[in-house]
Amino acid sequence: MDACPGLILRDVQPPLRLADFRLVAFDMDSTLIDIECVDEIADAVGRKAEVAAITEAAMRGEISDYQESLRRRLALLKGVPEAAIDAVYRERLQLNPGVETFVRACQAAGLKTLLVSGGFTRISDRIKARLGLDFARANVLEIADGALTGRLVPRPWGEIVDGAEKRRVLLEVCELLGISPAQAIAVGDGANDLPMMGVAGLSVAFHAKPAVRAQARVAVVEGGMDRLLALFEPPAAGAAAA
């Protein structure tokens, strides 16, 4: 542990080689970014406390049906002006500490990058572009007459990105890349991240809920996401990206 300050390790023996992995998958809200977007959007209509209570219970795993919990929260967003989503991105959202450093290190080592979120494409598309990520999947908010309807837009694969969909997307991208799930890293903080973390070769809980931290092979409990780099051998001087 002295070599990996701020980390709790379970069945992991550093140093690992980052280049031995080929994919890293990230949750978005409270993982890549420092807010829960649905909570902040709800603040536009004075419903943040009510929505945040449902979010917190869902992330702790106290609400077993994630899809139903999201539908309940979405219903409370009905009537929120479309512009409020953009204001949340501009005024309230920041990348979590160390995120950009860790993402860049993964990219330099040749890993593909995936964002898979129960949040919304109006935010996730911007985070994907900001970090230069390869793949992303999130929910699409339905908007009519410049305001949220309280529903999502159905997609060919379904309606809601929940834990099962996160797992399915990670496995789908692994198949697309021709790699084993054992060559994937999955990083998340909430109960809906556990299914994808469970199939990845390296599961990482980032400032996560206790139930998630207890099941992850690595937990970041202090500092930024760049603390994870302590697990890996430093790249050789002058090594080119794969």
Catalytic residues: 27, 29
Return all residues near 210 (Cβ < 8 A) that are at least 6 apart: 60
